[in-house]
Structure 1
Amino acid sequence: MVKRGNVHSSPATFLHSVDPRIKLDQLGRVSLLCGILFILSGLGTDGVPQLVQSRTPSSSLTGLPDLPKSLSGYSYLIMKLGPLQLTRKGLSVASTASSLTFIIFQSASLCLATTTPEQLAFALRWFLFSLRYIGVPVAEIVLTLMLSLRFINLMFDEVRNVALGIVSRRINWQQLTMKETVDVFCFLHSADLQEYF
């Protein structure tokens, strides 16, 4: 029986080769994003009451007896926080949206962290190969993907160098006006972009 929370070194999977700092940092960010999405979509789905009124006549006009309330205590409204309300529909939408967002972002992050650009380009070429017959430029798409995956690390390094340049200058940001702050950023980023163009 495997206890929860234990780390097992065998069988070795591709996740064992990834640095834990990468996995855990990205996991925290994606979890925060999905938590915010869950709260906003849960409270916002049915948060505003509908302006539409029922078009059926009331039971007193039709002569029918009122329908009895549910004996089991079913309630569409789960929680009410002032003007915001959490309903069953909102909970369903929120859990679906946050789960799908987490799966998409985390799987893309792990795929990019563990797979080389050449392997990703080869896999995309294999999947898109049949679209070549209807005129889709598969070779150009694959080349663009591979070049972007190759050079994205260079862009991240340049952004890091710009950030280190700003820190090493020991700029007193409180004394700068808004225009001077924008000028500093524009100067450093224009120097960064001149290396590429």
Structure 2
Amino acid sequence: MFPQLLHSTPTITSIRYLTPSIYKHRLAPNSLKRQPPHRPTFLCADKSSNIEGSQENWKELLEKWSPKNILGAEKVFRVISGATSSPIAQYISSPTTFLHSTDPRIKLAWLLTLVILPARSNTVLRVGLIVILAILTIQIQPNEVWQDQLGRVSILCGVLFIVLALSTDSAPSLVYSRTPPPSVTGLPKFPASFEGYSYVVFKMGPLQITRKGLLTATTSACLTFTIFQSASLYLSTTTPEQIAFALQWFLRPFDKLGLPVAEVILTLLLSLRFINLVFDEVRNVALGIVSRRINWGQLTTLETIDGLRRW
């Protein structure tokens, strides 16, 4: 290097060695002028290359497979028009049973007891109470009444039981112990249950039923079934006048406190009297609409509402 620097005639090599490193610029491409890398694009299309045609085909498939008229107006009116002439939980005079001749005050006390009892009893007593109510319903009410009502109430209680059993305690909470493990403290571990106790009753994948969920589901389902069926038995074996008399007898002490007991009893009596008439009128209107054979599928929402308002 030094002989080259001491040369009388400067050469390109010597100038290259004398150039400081700070001035050695390197030509780099401008980052602003860089083109973005090529990214492949994917187009979802069917056999035809037209995108609009593929969208229309997807719409046709959705319309084909989507359920239609689940709660259509025609189905609702057909269900109402095909119902029985007497509404649910209406007084049924025949056949005459022992509940028809029982004092209405005793039956009202039984009704209140059956409503309170499932909430303060165990599972065996609740199931036994449901079986007794079902047997009484079959023995007292006519076949066309109890078959429809008992089936719907059973389906409702079954769905309620499944939903509450799976959703009450299905996701277990993470529990962190604040005390050191027994291996650190030197204390013996808690012995396992000799009776095979398990908090989780049933487990299948992410779904599990625990004792807490089973207790909540049993209480809610039994209470719902008891309220519906006991009220149905009471109303179907007791006349409106007897119901008003029994309720007035129990509310008589409140009359001295200035409460409008007579007005409440009169309102209840009128409601029980005219509920059958209102049900018959609704049934006749639904039967008239169904007999006109209206094509509800071709009507818009506003036209449907306007047609129902006119009726």
TM-score by length of 1: 0.79
**Equivalent in the alignment of 1:3:** none
Distance in 2 separating the partners of 1:18 and 1:66: 59
Deviation of the 1:17 alpha carbon: 6.2
In structure 1, stretches of 5+ residues that fail to align are 1-10, 189-197
What is the CA–CA distance in structure 1 between the aligned matches of 2:177 and 2:258, rounded to whole Å?
A: 53
Tell me which residue corresponds to 1:82: 205
In 2, Cα distance between equivalents of 1:117 and 1:133? 24
Deviation digits for residues 132-183 of structure 1, max 9, x if unmatched? 1222211111011101111111221121122112201101122222222222
Q: 1:81 to 1:181 in 2, by over 3 A?
A: farther
What residue in structure 2 maps to residue 34 of structure 1? 157
2:128 counterpart of 1:43: no
Report the CA distance shift for 1:109/1:12 in structure 2 as closer, same or farther (over 3 A).
closer
- 2:148 is matched with 25
Match of 1:119 among 239, 242, 257: 242
Which residue does 2:271 correspond to in 1? 148
Aligned with 1:121: secondary structure? helix
* Counterparts in 2 of 1:59 and 1:187: CA distance versus 1, 3 Å: farther
Pairing 1:187–2:295 present: no
**1:41-78 alpha-carbon deviations (Å, 9 max, x no partner):** 21222123225544334334434343343344321101
Work out the CA distance in 2 between the residues paired with 1:83 and 1:46.
12
- Give 2:217's aligned residue: 94
Root-mean-square deviation (CA, aligned residues, Å) is 2.3
Q: Give the gaps of 5 or more residues in structure 2.
A: 1-95, 100-136
- Indicate conservation of the 8 Å contact 1:44/1:90, yes or no: yes
Shift of 1:86: 0.5
Q: Distance in 2 between matches of 1:187 and 1:85?
A: 51
Structure number with greater Rg is: 2
Contact 1:23/1:110 (CA < 8 Å) preserved in 2? Answer: no
Match of 1:13 in 2: 98
CA drift at 1:91: 1.4
Which shifted more, 65-74 or 95-104? 65-74
The higher relative CO (CA closer than 8 Å, separation ≥ 6) is in 2
Q: Would you say 1:165 and 2:288 are equivalent positions? A: yes
Count how many residue pairs are aligned between Structure 1 and Structure 2. 178
Moved more, 14-23 or 158-167: 14-23
Distance 1:60 1:135 in 2: 71
The 1:110/1:174 distance shift into structure 2, 3 A limit, reads: same
Distance 2:172 2:308 in 1: 46
